[in-house]
Amino acid sequence: MAKASDAIEWRVSQGLTPYAKALAEMEARADAVRRGEARELVWLLEHPPVYTAGTSADPAELLDARFPVHQTGRGGRFTYHGPGQRIGYVVLDLRQRRRDVRCYVHALEGWVIAALGEVGIEAFRAPGRIGIWTLDRGVEAKIGAIGVRIRQWVTLHGFAVNLSPDLSHFTGIVPCGIAEFPVTSAAALGLSVSPERLDSALFATFMPFLDSLGEIGLEDSAVPV
């Protein structure tokens, strides 16, 4: 895939990338970006079935550890990754943009919502609930998760979009600590969306996302990290 700009690498991994391997590579890339030794990165991939625990994870919300469980440095609680889910890891240097955590998370949500719109899924933000939501038979349901870490103003982790995962795999956890709303997918909505099609939509909507993060010289409006 071509790069959205000369400064940012787009990487698409085929098959299933082990979670621990991806985490180590992402962390190393973020360190290199921080030192000015590597380009920023958008990395699109899938994982084998795994549960990941964010920094706010409640052990009581791990209901059935049927898959490996990984502690991770991202924000949030428990989530599931597996085949049929598109993962986007985003390594950006916010020192070159607006140093604002809320702005970044809001922009990341907006990017995924815009990309889903390109493939025929009307998605939206829900007040008080981080993530990407849509209507499944008239009920609000989560189709995408957001989980980020910002270390010395370089971003790690990113988003996960449910295209055609086995939704029963989510029942081993309380997804993102929200028990009262279901999880859905493009397939559950009756839509066939390939990873390649979503990748193209993400690429097509990337520049507005990047522009929304601001330029060098904007006054900081930071949240402690």
For 122, counting Cβ atoms within 10 Å of its Cβ (0-12 exposed, 13-18 middle, 19+ buried), the class is: exposed
Residues in the chain: 225
Tokens of residue 94, six digits? 């916010």
Burial call 12-50: b when 16+ CB within 10 Å, e when fewer: ebeeebebeebbebbeebbeebbeeeeebbbbbbbbebb
- How far apart CA 108 and CA 74 sit, in angstroms, is 14
Pairing of strands 40-45, 8-12: parallel
Positions annotated as catalytic residues are 176
